[in-house]
Structure 1
């Protein structure tokens, strides 16, 4: 029995040491990468200078044509992330500020994402390799229910989110394999193929959102002009009064839900195609940057 206990203890110690080594190796790779996605592109950077930074979900990523801003002489990058929530947008902006980015304007897509304060698991996971190296990232995750496991158990985060930051993604980072996330100044155009052209947002309710208010305060503290906007949805959507509720809650958020109308401009009910995005972007440039 004694020998069995000694064997068990030795096995557990060796397993723990292996997890520590693997954690160190994976993290080291991620700390050297800056061309796989928008998060590592920011984290492993210093002192960029922008006239316009775009933040939000896919309804930012697919709706704001960054090259059109550049044509107007505005240095711009679209940091919108498909599937992302305001949790991730707030953390990304915090990291930009920490890296001493000079930002004149932030355009924040603030509409459906106001209805929750949850993290988007697939996007939030991309920040986790840095949780031990970044006090800002650590603090941002500190109120999450699984923070202790993510922070204190070696290699746990890489196992728990294997499909996002596990071996395959680590390997691609190690060989510096690029993705298309950084093309077109971060803008991701959608085609004309029709997805779901019906939607129902009747059950959504905008919140006094902690992460939106963090972004608002960050911009105020760093002399960044915050332009918060609601972006278009197809007319065949139930519950469009949601957008009125958003403006009642936060009057400073500009309602552009009807800025582009017609199914021919949508790839799905909640996402403009490239033609629609260009129409929408031209409206935003005209309203905010032609003065």
Structure 2
């Protein structure tokens, strides 16, 4: 029995040691990565100057053509993240401020995600390689239910989110294989599809009266003298429950409602996402309304 316990203890110690080594190795690789995605790009960067930074979900990523801002002489980058929530947008802005970014304007896509304070696991996982190297990331995740496992168990986060930060992603980061996430100044224009779903139902959605992460972004902007421009972006004409946007306006009067400035189906790739043509029309309206010269 004693021999069995000794053997089990040795196996346990070896397993923990391997986990610690792998954790350190994977983390080291991500700390050198700069061309895989927007989160690595910010975390591993130093001070930058921007006239406009765009934050939000795919409805930011696909709706604001950053090159059109640049054509107006505004240094811009679209940091919208497909699948992301305000949880991730707030954290990304915190990291920019920590890295001494000089930002004049923040455009935040704030509409559908005001209905929750959840993290988007597929996106939030991309911050986790740095959780031991950033007090800001650690603090941001501390309120999450699985924080202790993610923070204290070596290599656990890489196993749990293997499809996002596991072996494959670590390998590509190690060989500096580039993705297209940083192309076109972060903007991803969509095509128009003939058989796209042009119906949506948001009748059950209700904005929170006090969204923690929206308020964080607003406070950060005020503290750093950044002009904060929160906007609601367009949806197609066949949406059930469009009074959601009126509810948002009532709860957050400062948010600019642009949900109906582009509505025809020909300008959409899907009901919630404009195609490249629609996005250019929308971007020109934003430039006209907020960046007149």
Question: Scaled by the length of structure 2, what TM-score is found?
Answer: 0.99
2:199 match: 198
Q: 1:256 aligns with which of 258, 269, 281?
A: 258
1:176 match: 176
Q: Distance in 1 between matches of 2:168 and 2:228?
A: 37
1:159 match: 159
Q: Distance in 2 between matches of 1:196 and 1:56?
A: 22
Shift of 1:235: 1.0
Q: Distance in 2 between matches of 1:192 and 1:239?
A: 24
Q: Distance in 2 between matches of 1:45 and 1:99?
A: 7
| 3-state SS of 1:229 partner | strand
The answer on 1:286 being equivalent to 2:266 is no
| 3-state SS of 2:269 partner | strand
Gaps of 5+ in 2: none
Q: Distance in 1 between matches of 2:156 and 2:249?
A: 41
1:245 match: 247
Segments ≥4 residues shifted beyond 3 Å: none
Q: Distance in 2 between matches of 1:88 and 1:122?
A: 10
Q: What do residues 230-286 of structure 1 show as CA deviations (whole Å, max 9, x unaligned)? A: 000001000000000000000000000001121000000000000000000000000
1:107 match: 107
Q: Distance in 2 between matches of 1:271 and 1:89?
A: 19
Q: Distance in 1 between matches of 2:238 and 2:263?
A: 11
2:20 match: 20
Shift of 1:75: 0.1
Shift of 1:225: 0.4
Q: Distance in 2 between matches of 1:91 and 1:261?
A: 32
| 3-state SS of 1:77 partner | strand
Q: What do residues 61-116 of structure 1 show as CA deviations (whole Å, max 9, x unaligned)? A: 00000000000000000000000000000000000000000000000000001011
Aligned runs of 1:102-141 on 2, under 5 Å?
102-141=102-141
Q: Distance in 2 between matches of 1:150 and 1:205?
A: 31
Q: Distance in 2 between matches of 1:132 and 1:64?
A: 33
Q: What do residues 32-82 of structure 1 show as CA deviations (whole Å, max 9, x unaligned)? A: 001100000000001010000000000000000000000000000000000
| 3-state SS of 2:108 partner | strand
1:61 match: 61
Aligned residues: 291
1:187 match: 187
Shift of 1:226: 0.5
The answer on 1:81 being equivalent to 2:70 is no
Q: Distance in 2 between matches of 1:218 and 1:34?
A: 25
Question: Scaled by the length of structure 1, what TM-score is found?
Answer: 0.99
Gaps of 5+ in 1: none
Q: Distance in 2 between matches of 1:9 and 1:65?
A: 57
